């Protein structure tokens, strides 16, 4: 494997390890101490709206595109 395939594979493996550690660390947290149950919908809605607004203020294409040599 070379180039992007190696980067993607190693990044995915690293991400899996990080996510596993984060899930293990946060498994014992009582989230109701931080957020009341009624606010979960608002948090999800806020993240969604923020993503929509961010996409509207960016000028480049979504994702990476190969540049043509012209």
Q: Helix or strand or coil: residue 8? A: helix
Higher pLDDT, 68 or 50: 50
- 24-64 pLDDT, tens digit per residue, is 888 888 877 877 877 878 888 899 999 888 888 877 665 65
Measured over all CA atoms, what is the biggest interatomic distance in the chain, rounded to whole angstroms? 57
| Type and span of the H or E element at 37 | none
Where do the structural domains in the chain lie, given as residue ranges?
A: 4-57
Look up the pTM and report it.
0.42
Instruction: Please say whether the beta carbons of 9 and 1 come within 8 A.
Output: yes
């Amino acid at each position: 494997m070379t180039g992007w395939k190696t980067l993607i594979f190693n990044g995915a493996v690293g991400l899996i390890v990080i996510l596993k550690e984060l899930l293990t660390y946060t498994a014992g947290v009582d989230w109701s101490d931080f957020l009341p149950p009624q606010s979960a919908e608002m948090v999800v809605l806020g993240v969604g709206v923020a993503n929509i607004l961010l996409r509207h203020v960016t000028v480049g294409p979504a994702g990476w595109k190969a540049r043509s040599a012209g």
